[in-house]
Amino acid sequence: MVLLLAFLIPFLGKEGTIWLVLVLSIVAYFSYNVRKKQSYWKKKGIKHAKPKFLLGNIEIIRSKPFSEKILEIYNDFPDERYYGAYQFTEPVLVVKDPDLIKQITVKQFDHFVNHRVLASPEADPFFSKNLISSRDERWRDLRATLSPSFTSSKMRFMYTLIDECAQQFIDHFRKEEGEIIELEMKDTLTRYTNDVIATTAFGLQCNSLKDRNNDFYLMGKDGSNFGGLRSFKFFMYGSSPTLFKLLKIKLVPTYIVNFFSKIIEDTVTTRKEKKIVRPDMIHLLLEAQKRRHEDTKTNEDFSELEESKNRQKQEITLEDICSQAFVFFLAGFESVATFLTFAFYELAVNPDIQKRLRDEVQIVDGKITYEALLGLKYMDMVVSEVLRKWPPAILTDREINKKFTIQPKKPDEKTLVLEEGMNCWIPIFAIHRDEKFYPDPEKFDPERFNEENKATINPSVYLPFGAGPRNCIGSRFALLEGKLLLYYVLKNFEVVTTGKTKIPVVLDKKMVNPAAEGGMWLGFKKL
């Protein structure tokens, strides 16, 4: 910098020199602060991934898929219980140890109640109202209110609607000409998940395989696309929430939010006016709203202390219902389609496993009941192994809301004090491919989840739906939706590879969560 200044001064004059010095001073100060922030783990004496200037361990233009990058860094610390990383300039603790994961997600959950801020009420009031984005007491209150809507009995309540979508999917392809129908699976399966969410969460009937450009599907595809710029927004939100508040940057565009909100508002109004009852998520959310309203009225005569507590429990508003339904859509549209895409891939490249699963499916006559579906043991083993090898979420996170101390357990460890506001990552994809927990992790082996072996798996290292009180509230729904389609497809088709199938699968570098580069091409061969 000094040499540059000395070279330029003769050409700039007094005023130009002042401006140059000012600019260079600002750059130097900025650079100093970035490097200071990115030396956090070094000063703590904690082993860490070497950060790139400003970017930390996040790549904007990725040299490899995000999942593989996380796995690569994870494997650089084979004997560590945890290690440091950087989300741009913010320090992040990456946790590997099962006992420590259990401590964070379950035993001392009160220190780790929240996810990192994804959307602030100031910048994105709509998205911040959903269960994932909610924090502290609002999250506790909302979770307690919504949980009864996701019990096994409520899944049975919606089963008929999902079954209709699965049969509609099969009927479409049974009518196709030719012995083998070649399909790009992700596109095909998002049409199924779209129709399921449309009917169960929004009260709409769709056939996205027949009407390929219906508005609901196109808006859903746009809204659930978190590759490219939107994936960058996710990481930036965690690093610079203040900047996003000031600029009022939203994760999901307003026109998409307005589209889905209008559908919910119109549906709710119609149902209330005409007293329509339908076995779907809107009905369950309206029932939750009614329960909350009745609870509030019942508790009006409580003591002053109890009254004070009750006031903290807010009524479920129409906007709350819209926000929950929308995030339910985002999770169901993309995550279940990802899970099914890799399930069909593994069945196609492991025909012996597919045959065994088909033999189990063929025992059931015709239309399958909710209880019979849950009773398919090998189906459960296959699904569990798909979610082990290809978890739809690469990682989950927890923000520290109370100072937390990690005591040393190994000779080379130090006492580590984590301050309030710091973020922890639990790298699900990497943990699921750690040979210490899953021998020969690249092998697709449903026998890992037979009755005998399943009992030996530590729950803290099997995390397809997260862990602890903050796990995925819709896991039962996702499993039901996925298993039902697997059942009907295997009842009617053999899933086969085609000339376009890439073996092994190559993951897309542009996407945050697992997706096949160039699409996942497979064939449905009629039985």
Residue-wise pLDDT for 211-233, tens only, equals: 999 999 999 888 877 655 555 66
Give Cα 417 to chain centroid, integer Å.
28
pLDDT, position 311 = 41
pLDDT band at 328 (very low <50, low <70, confident <90, very high): confident
Instruction: List residues bridging with 52 in a β-sheet.
Output: 56
**Amino acid at site 421:** G
- Higher model confidence: residue 244 or residue 337? 337
pLDDT, position 304 = 37
- Higher model confidence: residue 14 or residue 1? 14
pLDDT, position 302 = 38
Is the pLDDT confidence value at 252 over 80? Answer: no
pLDDT, position 117 = 74
Mean pLDDT of the 66-81 span: 95
pLDDT, position 300 = 44
Is the pLDDT confidence value at 312 over 80? Answer: no
List Cβ<8 Å contacts ≥24 apart for 59-68. Answer: 60/232, 62/509, 62/510, 63/509, 64/509, 65/507, 65/508, 65/509, 65/511, 65/514, 66/231, 66/394, 66/509, 66/511, 66/512, 66/513, 67/394, 67/429, 67/507, 67/513, 67/514, 68/507
Q: What is the Cα–Cα distance from 417 to 167, expressed in whole angstroms? A: 54
pLDDT, position 30 = 80
pLDDT, position 318 = 86
237: nearest Cα among 226, 225, 224:
226
305, 173 Cβ separation under 8 angstroms: no
**Which two three-digit tokens encode residue 502?**
């890439």
Is the pLDDT confidence value at 163 over 50? Answer: yes
Burial string for 199-223 (b: 16+ CB within 10 Å, else e) reads bbbbbeebbbbeeeebebbebbbeb
Average pLDDT, the chain: 88
Task: Dump pLDDT digits (tens) for 177-219.
Answer: 899 999 999 999 999 999 999 999 888 899 999 999 999 999 9
Burial string for 93-130 (b: 16+ CB within 10 Å, else e) reads bbbbbbebbbbbbbeeeebbbbbbbbbbeebbebbbbb
Mean pLDDT of the 241-258 span: 74
The kind and range of the H/E element at 93 are strand 90-95
Is the pLDDT confidence value at 309 over 60? Answer: no
Best-predicted range by mean pLDDT among 196-205, 281-290, 480-489?
Answer: 480-489
DSSP-derived secondary structure letter, 369: P
Burial string for 372-406 (b: 16+ CB within 10 Å, else e) reads ebbebebbbbbbbbbbbbbbbbbbbbbbbbeebeb
Mean pLDDT of the 316-342 span: 89
pLDDT, position 308 = 37
Q: What percent of the chain has pLDDT over 90?
A: 61
What residue numbers does the annotated binding site cover? 472
Q: How many helices (H) and strands (E) does the chain have?
A: 21, 9
Region 112-393+464-526: CATH code: 1.10.630.10
pLDDT, position 234 = 60
**Amino acid at site 286:** L
CA 101 to each of CA 93, 197, 256, 422: distance values in angstroms, whole numbers, following the listed order: 12, 32, 36, 16
pLDDT band at 79 (very low <50, low <70, confident <90, very high): very high
Hey, is 48 helix, strand or coil? strand
- Higher model confidence: residue 272 or residue 401? 401
What residue numbers does the annotated binding site for heme cover? 472
The CB-side HSE value for 39 (13 A sphere, CA atoms) comes to 7
Largest CA distance in the chain: 90
Measure CA of the first residue to CA of the last residue in the chain; give whole Å: 73
Mean pLDDT of the 418-430 span: 96
pLDDT band at 350 (very low <50, low <70, confident <90, very high): very high
Q: What is the Cα–Cα distance from 396 to 470, expressed in whole angstroms? A: 10
- Higher model confidence: residue 472 or residue 16? 472
pLDDT, position 243 = 64
Task: Dump pLDDT digits (tens) for 104-126.
Answer: 999 999 999 999 876 667 777 78
Task: Dump pLDDT digits (tens) for 338-349.
Answer: 999 999 999 999
129, 250 Cβ separation under 8 angstroms: no
pLDDT, position 297 = 54
Q: What is the Cα–Cα distance from 469 to 473, expressed in whole angstroms? A: 9
Task: Dump pLDDT digits (tens) for 90-100.
Answer: 999 999 999 99
261, 329 Cβ separation under 8 angstroms: no
Task: Dump pLDDT digits (tens) for 376-386.
Answer: 999 999 999 99
Q: Which residues contact 374 (CB under 8 A, 6 or more apart)?
A: 483
Mean pLDDT of the 437-466 span: 97
Domain boundary assignment for the chain: 112-393+464-526
